[in-house]
Amino acid sequence: MDRIVIERLGHQGDGIASVDDAPVYVPGTLPGEVVEGDIEAGHLAAPRIVTPVPERVSPPCRHAKRCGGCQLQHAALDFTAEWKRDVVIRALTAQGIDADVRPTETSPPQSRRRATYSARRTKKGATAGFHQKGSDVIVENPDCLVVRPVLAAALPVVQALAVAGASRKAEISVMVTDSDGGLDIAVRGGKAPGPVDFAELAQAHDLARLSWEGETLTRRPPLQRFGRAQVSPPPGAFLQATAEGEAALLDAVRAAVGDAARVADLFAGCGTFTLPLAETAEVTALESDAAMLEALDRGWRHAPGLRKVTTQTRDLFRNPLLPDELQRFDAVVIDPPRAGAEAQIAQIARARVPRVAHLSCNPVTFARDTAALIAAGYTLGPVRVIDQFRWSTHVELAATLVLET
């Protein structure tokens, strides 16, 4: 049996020690702790904590030891918040960027308004929940402390869907979203039941909308509010994880855009930022998913007092906006997927758009793309660290870049 000292946390939340100049990954541990166990292939899978650190706490959720939904329930909230901030600082430092990185803003417990559950049929009915870490075993978590109570209470609905259309060999994925119209559910995998059973499932569980691999039944519009507008997103469309996190990101975007009269919202989705910004500016929203833009446009047309919003379906990875297209905007909002937007950032730098609201869910690609803008003459303002995924390793960030004159 080996005894080792944890030196740091990795990006996946595992403790990392160094043994014979090679990393050893130890789940459920914190820096400074002494642990022991058997090391196999660079992992110590079942550690015994010999010397805990003060930052260790008892996990608040009774499912924490088995459920893979959270990685850091054993760590004090202050520790996790500072660790996430430090992840951002290290990513920026690696690109030679010295920034004012603000303290982490963490969403409260039971605030996630969307969750994707796994489910499969069993001999006695069905099981539904999140996967055990590194396993295909499904852990039922009826009193999850991450999601809104209405989502935690939806597990029986997910089980009923599994009984109706899953098999015992293959699981289904069930995305459950809390909307103003009620539960909005999108199912992938399995086989959708016939029209009669499909309708009965939606009615029996009072669903706003049920979608299953392209077949959709809407009983009430599953509305989400973005500023003055109400939007009914297409099934499974992207949505910020918490209302609190969305509000923080929007606040950062508004501060970055300032009094700009013409704004481009790149990777606009269903209008999370487009529609609130349209209260004071003309906005062009660009997104590769036409259905999301159609939802955004409908929301704009029915909202009171908004300025002109124009939509354009465009793959900004393959076909980024070019300088002659960008130069008519006073500000750009860019919130790309985890891969970042290297090609589009290069065109923004060439176009010398005066103000950029830069958001990201990946500190590494954020730092890379921000470095390109700084090299082109932009000044980076304070960086806000926003944690919508409490007790997880996920982190988001937002910042303003202003072109030096």
Helices (H) and strands (E) in the chain, counts: 10, 23
Task: Quote the CA–CA distance of 335 and 360 in Å, as a whole number.
Answer: 6
Q: What is the mean pLDDT of the chain?
A: 96
* pLDDT reading at 181 higher than 90: yes
Per residue in 314-368, pLDDT (tens digit) is 999 999 999 999 999 999 999 999 889 999 999 999 999 999 999 999 999 999 9
CATH fold for domain 114-224: OB fold (Dihydrolipoamide Acetyltransferase, E2P) (2.40.50)
Per residue in 274-287, pLDDT (tens digit) is 999 999 999 999 99
Classify each residue of 50-87 as buried b or exposed e, where b means 16 or more C-beta atoms within 10 Å of its C-beta. Answer: eeebebbeebebebbebbbbbbbbbbebebbbebbbbb
Q: What is the pLDDT of residue 109?
A: 97
- Provide the CB-side half-sphere exposure for 61 (13 A, CA): 27
* pLDDT reading at 404 higher than 90: no
Structure tokens belonging to residue 232: 């009914």
Q: What is the pLDDT of residue 23?
A: 95
Residues 6 or more apart whose Cβ sits within 8 Å of residue 247: none
Q: What percent of the chain has pLDDT over 70?
A: 100
Q: What is the DSSP string of 336-393?
A: --TT--HHHHHHHHHHT-SEEEEEES-HHHHHHHHHHHHHTTEEEEEEEEEESSTTSS
Please tell me what DSSP assigns to residue 321: P
**pTM for the complete prediction?**
0.95
Active-site residues, by number, are 361
Q: What percent of the chain has pLDDT over 90?
A: 92
Instruction: Give the pLDDT band (50/70/90) at residue 90.
Output: very high
Which residue ranges does the chain devote to CATH 2.40.50.140?
Answer: 1-54
Per residue in 231-270, pLDDT (tens digit) is 999 999 999 999 999 999 999 999 999 999 999 999 999 9
CATH number at 1-54: 2.40.50.140
Query: At 26, which amino acid appears?
Result: V
- Could you tell me which residue, 157 or 134, shows the higher pLDDT? 157
Which residue intervals of 264-306 are DSSP H helices?
274-277, 290-301
Mean pLDDT to the nearest integer, 111-115: 97
Task: Quote the CA–CA distance of 82 and 151 in Å, as a whole number.
Answer: 29
Q: Which segments within 149-267 are labelled E, that is strand?
A: 172-179, 182-188, 209-212, 215-218, 224-226, 229-231, 262-266
Which residue ranges does the chain devote to CATH 3.40.50.150?
Answer: 81-108+239-403
Please tell me what DSSP assigns to residue 303: S
Residues shown for the chain: 405
Q: Could you tell me whether strands 34-37 and 2-5 are parallel, antiparallel, or unpaired per DSSP bridges?
A: antiparallel
Sign of the torsion formed by the C-alpha atoms of 193, 199, 200 and 205: positive
Per residue in 135-169, pLDDT (tens digit) is 889 999 999 999 999 999 999 999 999 999 998 88
Task: Quote the CA–CA distance of 49 and 162 in Å, as a whole number.
Answer: 39
Query: At 375, which amino acid appears?
Result: A
* pLDDT reading at 134 higher than 90: no
363-375 vs 77-94: helix crossing angle, rounded to 10: 40
Angle 294-300-301 from CA coordinates, rounded to 5°: 90
Q: What is the pLDDT of residue 405?
A: 75
Q: What is the pLDDT of residue 1?
A: 77
Which residue ranges does the chain devote to CATH 2.40.50.1070?
Answer: 114-224
Contact predicate 324/256, CB 8 Å = no
CATH number at 81-108+239-403: 3.40.50.150
SS3 129: strand
Terminal-residue alpha carbon distance, the chain: 63
* pLDDT reading at 98 higher than 90: yes
Residue 263 backbone dihedrals phi, psi, to 5 degrees: -130, 140
Contact predicate 113/241, CB 8 Å = yes
Instruction: Give the pLDDT band (50/70/90) at residue 214.
Output: confident
Please tell me what DSSP assigns to residue 14: -
SS3 220: coil
* pLDDT reading at 2 higher than 90: no
Per residue in 28-84, pLDDT (tens digit) is 999 999 999 999 999 998 899 999 999 999 999 999 989 999 999 999 999 999 999
